Amino acid sequence: NLGGEFCLPGFQVCDGLKDCADGSDEADCSAVTCRHGQWKCNDGLKCIAVSQYCNKVRDCKDNSDEDSCDFDTCRGYNEWQCKTGDCIPEEFKCDGFPDCLDGSDEWNCF
């Protein structure tokens, strides 16, 4: 703490995450610098963990972490694709028993 200012490790400056309450660690950054194990969004505004790339969740404002992913689609006759990407028989959807790892086959059943 220097006169009311806190010192941050260099890797926390311009990393796309506001570590200072006022966001000053992210001000005047032309682009973020990602650490090992991170992926930079195409807009250059944020770093995400490599595990967040192509996980079917938009983590980048520009959706660049998801827009070029090749998710497998169900190829079998009468199959339904879970949100996690796995496939189940169509008749297992909305049958009262979760068959998808995330339970998405039981969502929005009326």
Mean pLDDT throughout 3-7? 63
pLDDT tens, 28-86? 776 677 888 888 899 888 888 888 888 878 888 888 988 877 666 777 778 888 887 77
**DSSP-derived secondary structure for 17-81:** S--STT-GGGTT-SS--PPTTEEE-TTSS-EEEGGGTTSSS--STT-TTTTT-------STTEEE
pLDDT at residue 2 tops 50: no
Residue 26 or 70, more confident: 26
Specify the pTM: 0.47
